[in-house]
Every structure is written in C-alpha cells, then in structure tokens.
A and B are shown apart, each in its own frame.
Chain A
Amino acid sequence: MALLDVNNLSISFGGLRAVDDFNISIEKGELYGLIGPNGAGKTTVFNLLTGVYKPNEGIIRLDGEDITRKSTIEINHCGIARTFQNIRLFKQMPVIDNVKVGLAEHYKYSTLEGILHLGKYKKVEKEMDEEAMRLLKVFDLDKERDTLASNLPYGKQRKLEIARAMATNPKLLLLDEPAAGMNPNETGELMDTIALVRKEFGMTILLIEHDMKLVSGICEKLTVLNFGRVLCQGETKEVLADPEVIKAYLGE
C-alpha cells in the first residue's frame, strides 16, 4: 500500500476550481516531483495535504489513515512535515532552538517542570540538545548552533528549514520550491542535501520545483499540474518527453 494516497481531491475558491480531481499515490521511500506552470495549483495541493485548506471533495490517506479533515497540527503529528516557498524560520531564535521546537512533540515534560527546571527537565533537555545537534551535523549546521536563524545565509536557511521539518520525525516530507532563488552552486548543494536526507532517514519526499535540472536530476516520478488538473503522471523521463507536457509547461 502506498504511503500517501490521494483520491479525487478538489477545492474551489468562489467560482475558481483551483484543484480539480487530483490523484496521487506515493510509495514509501520515493522522491516525487510536482511540477507545472505558475498558478497551476501546486502550492494549493500542499496546503490541502497539510490541512491549511479543507478540500470540497476527496480523500487523503497517509499510511492507511484518513487525514482529510484534520487540522494542520494533527496532520503534522500524523507524520507530514513541510517547508515553505518563502522561507519561514523562527528568525529571532538560535539555530538549535529552531530544531528543538520541531523536536518538542517527541520530548516532553510538563509546564510546571519547565518553569521550575526540576524533574525531567534537565534529562529531557539534554536529550533534546543531543538529538538537535545530531540533526544539525547531518545538515552541516552544527557550527552555527547559536547563530540567530535570521543571520544565516540563504542556502543555510533552506537547510535549517528542512532540518526543522525533519525534527518532527515525519513519514512524508513536503518541499515547496526548495531551490527558489538559489544560484546553480546552491542548487547543487541542495540536491546533495536532499539525497542525504533520503539516505540518512529513508525519507519519502514530495517536492514542488521549477528548476528542471533539479527535477530531472533527482525526482523518480512526476505529476504535472495544469489549471488545477493532472496533465500527466508517471516516470520522470516519460513525463518530460510527453508532448502535452512540453506544450503546456516546458515549451517547444
């Protein structure tokens, strides 16, 4: 059974059918790409998957569990983590605290213990620190642990956002245009990071991207959206060779 199974997903804003009869099925461990022209509804699909919007029709199943009507918070706890097109970090907080916010769901102590710094506080905080540092090391951010997130260079902010998403221990990672605004060097580095995430954590990834070098370089399967509808779906090579796709998106 597929890890993520989406059937007949639709949403309308007023008279506009932003996503219409969207289907996707992602197997565990796959790296899946979602592409399409601007305004095709890619980010809307992400917002539907993460509960920001509630669909008019359709079912979303993660690992067999129906998560269609759940809130953003519940969906995160079920195992979907995401990054944003315009980076959204906790800017006034140090790098390590950004990751620790992500870890919070799995390392718990009561509010009272937190205020008094007693009981489980010391032990759990230490475990959190170690786990956060382990993650930061993977993303090569361990030297910046005390830097404010807003002071990181762009590429590292992207990495930190992925690290924070990984800290929530997801089953599925959604990346919304991770290479947006990056130069070719940074994009190359990002591709390495994504490959690393797959290798280290065996993560299933769904990503939106316009950078065709990145898409054709690392995605195993693709879905092409156009005007809210699926235009084409399948193996990356076949999809990119499809005349419809070339006409609608890539250009002849």
Chain B
Amino acid sequence: MKINKITKNNLITYGIVVAAFVLFTVLASTGNLSSHMKGLLIPMTYYAVIAVALNLCVGILGELSIGHCGFMCIGAFTSAFFSKATAEILPSGIRFFLAFLIGIAFAALFGFLIGIPVLRLKGDYLAIVTLAFGEIIKNIINAFYIGIDKSGIHFSLKNAMELGLDEGGEVIVNGAMGITGTPHDSTFTIGIIVLLISLFVVLNLINSRDGRAIMAIRDNYIAAESTGINVTGYKMMAFTISAAIAGAAGVLFSHNITTLTATSQYFGYNASIMILVYVVLGGIGNIRGSVIAACILYLLPELLRGFSNYRMLIYSIVLIVMMIVNWSPKIIEWRKRTLGRFGFKKNSGKEIA
C-alpha cells in the first residue's frame, strides 16, 4: 500500500530527528560535548527548521526564494520585542509560547504581503526580488527605534533620544544596536520540538489535496490552471506557510542570543544563500535531506576548526562531494545497488518526502 509507504517515510524522518536528539542529549549529559559544541546545538535546530521552510518554497512550490532570512529576521525581532517587553510580567513558559505565536504570525503576514507582488514573477526575477525584500527588511529594522514607558509604545526612525521616554521607560529596539537582553528561552529540546512540528506540517501538507495542487503548479502551471486549480491562491498559501516556519526559526534564534542585531551575518544575502545550499545539497523537494544537510553543513565548519587554514577548503570539498553523491545519476544507481545488497530497499532515486 502506498499510504503506508508514505507514512513509513515520514516516520523515518521523525525518527532521525528524535535519534539525533537522544544522541546529543546523552553526549551532553555524560560530558562528552565541549561547551562550544553545546552552543551549536540550538543553532543547528533553527537552521534545520528554516531549511525545511525554504524547501517548501523551492522544492515543493518550485519558486526560488533567496530572501528567506528576511522572514526569519521578522520572526526574530517581533518575538524578541514581545519577550523583552513582557519579561517581568509573564512567566517564561507562557511568554515563550506567545512569542512563538507572535513571531510566526508576523512572519506569515509579511510572507503574505510580500508574496502578492513577488509571486507574479517567475524564475530568476522572483529570486532577485525576494533577495531585495530580504535586504529591505533587514535595513528597515536597522533604522527602527522603539521604546516603552508608562504612557505606551514610542516609535522613531531617528535615534533613541527622539523617543522622548518618561523616566523608567526602556528602549527596546535601539536601531542598529538591535535588541539587547532578550530572555534566553530557547533550549535544544524546544528547538527539536519546533523542528518536529515544522516537519509534521510540511510533510502532511505535501500528502494532502493542497500539497498536490502546489506540486502540480510547480510541475506545470498551465496544466494546473486548466485542471481547475487556483494557481495564485495555492502559491500564496505555500509561500505564507514557508514564511511562517522561517519566522519560527527566527523566534528560536532571537531567544538564543543576548544581542539581536539585523546584521548581514545572520540575516543578509549570504545567510539566505547558505540555507539555499542546505536545501540544494539535501535534495530539492527532499524534506528529510534538508534536515540532514542543514545539521551536517552547519556543524562541519565548526568541527573543522582543527584544520585552521584549510578549514574552508575542506568545507568546499565536502560540498562538492555531497552534491555529486546526491545528484549524479550514476552514483545514485550505485548507492541503490549497494544499499540493496545490505537489504535496504530504495524505491526511487528521487523521493517526494
């Protein structure tokens, strides 16, 4: 039965995530992980989450977006703003949960708004415009000054003095200096839970009526239209969900660092390309691959620190090898044969999930 095959594939994906979680938790609790490595665990989860989000956009919807870090940025800032503003009022559990809702909602809203003009474009043009939007979001946030005092929220685009806060008022978003002192609510466990939820949403979506419509648009939008599929509606839906999941990654991000700034290092063009690299090397349209690639490729440069100067050289060699292993038809054939010999059965080189 096909249903079982899909369910089995999805379960394997969840299983891999849970196994990685158990492995790292055990390693950490038995003292086998350096504190440096422990610090990498949470970033690993949010990069996996955003890789899943981007794969929904690139692999399932088939639209190349290189501005997804912009949505991550929105999720990060809105949620950090909320958390900091309510740090003394709400207990941490509820606060973090609400921060997630807010970060996701705002990222989805902006995904929707940006999707309206962007999804009219195709191919390279769409990629360029999403890139531009990603940069615009980052730069606009850099110009924001927002403070809170007893009379409410103050907003300025000039500097912190312009806010005119009362005594006891607090500057929350301080322009290019960003948000400082967001509560450290992110944990590895929560990161894994968010990753599992994103996987659940995306994998289930793919195997539903809406997911098939989205993939039909990817494969041939003219045929999709003449089959009665609302092309614009489904494109917007997939893009919005993708932005929302990127927003969730942003929430994890902002609650893991002390000073949140909208710098290019985290939210710029390079970061978006890095995530695209995870998606492409993991296999476009292969959600499980994205998770694995994100984890390996995020940890790798850190693990290669021992090679000092040759670090990036080795990293790029690994990228090339991964690309060949995942995409070359001959290697895929060889991989299937070899796995088959050990009793694994692979159904097709290109899986859907």
Query: Which A residues form the contact surface with B (CB < 8 A)?
Result: 50, 52, 72-73, 76-77, 81-82, 84, 88-94, 96-98, 100-102, 104-105, 107-109, 111, 114-117, 121, 124-125, 128, 145-146, 148, 164-165, 168
Contacts and interface: CB of A to CB of B under 8 A. Distances in A.
Contacts of A77: 228
A145 B2 contact: yes
B226 A76 contact: yes
Interface in B280-333: 285
B163 interface: no
B209 A104 contact: yes
A169 to B, nearest CB: 10
B201 A90 contact: no
Nearest to B7: A117
Contact of B212 (A104, A117, A168): A104
B228 A73 contact: yes
Nearest to A103: B209
Nearest to B227: A102
B219 A91 contact: yes
A101 B216 contact: yes
Interface residues of B, number: 32
Contacts of B285: 92
The 6 closest A-B pairs by CB, nearest first: A114-B208, A76-B228, A88-B223, A90-B219, A101-B216, A90-B216
Contacts of A52: 226
B170 interface: no
Interface in B166-214: 201, 204-205, 207-213
A109 B220 contact: no
Given A90-B224, A92-B285, A124-B209, 10 more contacts: A88-B220, A91-B220, A97-B212, A100-B209, A100-B212, A102-B228, A114-B205, A125-B208, A145-B2, A168-B228
Residue from B3, B219, B222, B237 with most neighbouring chain A CB atoms (10 Å) = B219
A210 B317 CA distance: 55
Contacts of A89: 219-220, 223
B215 A114 contact: no
26 contacts: A73-B225, A73-B231, A76-B226, A82-B226, A89-B220, A90-B223, A91-B220, A93-B215, A93-B219, A94-B2, A101-B213, A101-B224, A101-B229, A102-B228, A104-B228, A109-B209, A111-B210, A114-B204, A114-B205, A114-B210, A115-B205, A117-B204, A117-B207, A124-B209, A128-B209, A164-B223
Contacts of B231: 73
A111 B237 contact: yes
Given A101-B229, A111-B237, A117 B208 contact: yes
Contacts of B208: 109, 111, 114-115, 117, 121, 125
Nearest to B217: A90
A104 B2 contact: no
Contacts, number: 99
A94 B215 CA distance: 11
Interface in B133-175: none
A117 B230 CA distance: 22
Nearest to A109: B209
Contacts of B204: 114-117
Contacts of B218: 92
Interface in B99-147: none
Contacts of B348: 148
B226 A50 contact: yes
Contacts of A104: 209, 212-213, 228-229
A207 B2 CA distance: 35
Contact of B230 (A73, A84, A97): A73
B346 interface: no
Nearest to A161: B223
Given A91-B219, A92-B285, A164 B227 contact: yes
B337 interface: no
Contacts of B227: 76, 81, 101-102, 164-165, 168
Given A97-B212, A121-B208, A105 B228 contact: yes
A117 B207 CA distance: 9
Contacts of B8: none
Interface string B218-248: 1110111111111100000100000000000
B11 to A, nearest CB: 13
A145 B237 CA distance: 28
Contacts of A145: 2
B229 to A, nearest CB: 7
A101 B237 contact: no
A114 B285 CA distance: 19
B43 to A, nearest CB: 27
Given A50-B226, A72-B225, A111-B237, A93 B210 contact: no
A163 to B, nearest CB: 11
A81 B226 contact: yes
A32 to B, nearest CB: 19
